[in-house]
Amino acid sequence: MLKTRFCELFGIELPIMLAGMGTIALADLAAAVSEAGAMGTVALAGFTPEGIHNEIAAARRLTKKPLACNLLIPFLQPGVAEAAAASPVEAVTLFWGAPAEYIEQFKAAGKKVIWQCGSAEEAADAKRAGADMIIAQGIEAGGHVRGPSRHSTWCRVQKTHRRGAGGGHGPHQAVRHGMARRGASRLAHLGL
């Protein structure tokens, strides 16, 4: 079985993470991914604090294995960040905002913080702000919404790595979001 620092960080068997995809990555799918040995992510954009509690509780009824939840900064309503911080998940993924604004709150609650980035500059900012892990997202995974649209995920991963936001530089791990259909692409990323 392939073990990576990502696996070690979360105590999972497979170096795979479910993306926090809108209305798709909810309790059932996230729990199934975690039960399979990877990291399931519950997408919580647009949820109320009560909705967050209910969705995470539903996932926890299906798995005791590590889970993450995903929040989109522009859609946070009052009490949402606090509800996510209090939820029984190991990590919180964040996107579309200033990294420093929320990282401390989640780390203080004992969560690992994963910042989803659309540029190498954003990844460096997230690392400086204390993110535990960086997700490099390119156009194949919707990264066109954050950063120049001409960059593929692989280009973003390489730029993020060169800037020192992931890979072998300290405790940070870089994960790619987006499709890697060929084994060579997967191996190239794992080699960073």
DSSP string, 67-131: EEEEEEGGGPPTTHHHHHHHSS-SEEEEESS-GGGTHHHHHHTT-EEEEEESSHHHHHHHHHHT-
DSSP bridge partners of 39: 17
92 plus 118 within the same structural domain: no
Residue 103: predicted pLDDT: 94
**Domain match, 2 and 79 both:** yes
Please say which residue of 68, 96, 124 terminates a domain: 96
The model's pLDDT over 65-76, given as tens digits with 9 standing for 90+, comes to 999 999 999 999
Give residue 101's pLDDT: 85
120 and 84, same structural domain?
Answer: no
Look at residue 154 in the predicted model and tell me its pLDDT: 47
Q: Which positions ≥6 away from 168 have C-beta within 8 Å?
A: 192
Please report whether residue 109 resides in a domain: no
Asked whether residue 169 is assigned to any structural domain, the reply reads: yes
Say what the pLDDT of residue 166 is: 47
Residues 88, 1 share a domain: yes
Query: Do 70 and 144 fall into the same domain?
Result: no
Which ranges of the chain have pLDDT less than 70? 138-192
Domain that holds residue 176: 114-192
